[in-house]
Amino acid sequence: MLKGKTAVVTGGSRGIGAEIANKLAQNGADIALLYAGNDEAASKVVSAISRLGNKCVAYKCDVSDFNSSRNTVERIITDFGEIDILVNNAGIVRDGFVLSMQEEDFDDVIAVNLKGSFNMIKHVYRHMMKRRTGRIINISSVVGLSGNAGQSNYAASKAGLIGLTKSTAKELAGRGITCNAVAPGYIETDMTASLSEGVKAGYISAIPMRRAGNGSEVADAVLFLASNMADYITGEVIKVDGGLSM
């Protein structure tokens, strides 16, 4: 399905991003994955994908850093020749109620989740425009649509990502490039592992399908948006949440 394509997956070393990298590779894509600092996790994903026979390289890069992101995109183009698919998946949480949230907790979350996605789009934009083809997929969250007490920074970053998605989609639609978002609900990963059992049970009782999702189910939506099956879809937000935000 994606044979001969190169996909860049930010935060591809763990959780949902690792599932996305694996799923795109299983469907033929070569993978450039970006990660923040966990070398061991990144090299595990590289080994698994390389065993499939696909090219896979991991780049340590803080996506919130404009110059590092630009240098990494340039290195990827040198190493792979082109970029067909960009998945902006890297994300962090720094939860707390507005009353107690520190300024840096707000700034850090916006910097990684929202500005980091802008940085990556900005650096691949010209490259994709020249080739008049490309797929950009941003991993938002259902809390970007509904808000969530204790996550004002995170929800704002994910709502902003939807605005970024739709604006980019409008700018690039005439150039053969689509830009869409996937909004996961409650997915079991390292990010949600630290939630208390009570909070987890609360989420699950609010989900009509009565279970958490997994990264592979989010990756299925990304694969669809990256494939020819989504040729005429842009500016869309696909929820993968077991019905949570209906």
Residues in touch with ligand NAP (CB under 6 A)? 10-11, 13-17, 34-38, 41, 61-64, 89-92, 112, 116, 139, 141, 184, 186-187, 189-192
Output the smallest distance, CB 31 to ligand NAP, in A. 13
Burial class (CB in 10 A: 0-12, 13-18, 19+), 78: exposed
CB nearer to ligand NAP: pick between 129 and 206? 206
Indicate which residue of 154, 186, 203, 232 is catalytic.
154
Nearer to ligand NAP, 34 or 49 (CB): 34
The distance of closest approach from Cβ of residue 73 to ligand NAP in the complex, given in angstroms and rounded to an integer, is 13
Q: Give the shortest CB-23-to-ligand NAP separation in angstroms.
A: 13
* Least distance to ligand NAP, CB of residue 204, Å: 12
**DSSP code per residue over 167-185:** HHHHHHGGGTEEEEEEEE-
C-alpha torsion sign, points 104, 108, 41, 240: positive
Q: How far apart are CA 30 and CA 114, in angstroms?
A: 25
Q: Which one, 62 or 217, has the nearer CB to ligand NAP?
A: 62
Cβ atoms 25, 45 nearer than 8 A: no
- Which residue, 63 or 223, has its beta carbon nearer to ligand NAP? 63
Distance of CA 104 to the CA centre of its chain: 22
Integer CA distances (angstroms), 53 to 28, 50, 155, in order: 9, 5, 38
**Complete edge-to-edge strand list for the sheet that includes strand 237-240:** 56-60, 30-35, 6-10, 85-88, 134-139, 177-184, 237-240
Bridge partners (DSSP) listed for residue 187? 213
- Least spacing, CB of residue 84 vs ligand NAP, in Å: 20
- Residue 4 or 198: the one with the smaller Cβ distance to ligand NAP is 198
232 is catalytic: no
Tokens representing residue 27 in the block? 């469907």
Residues with a catalytic annotation lie at 154
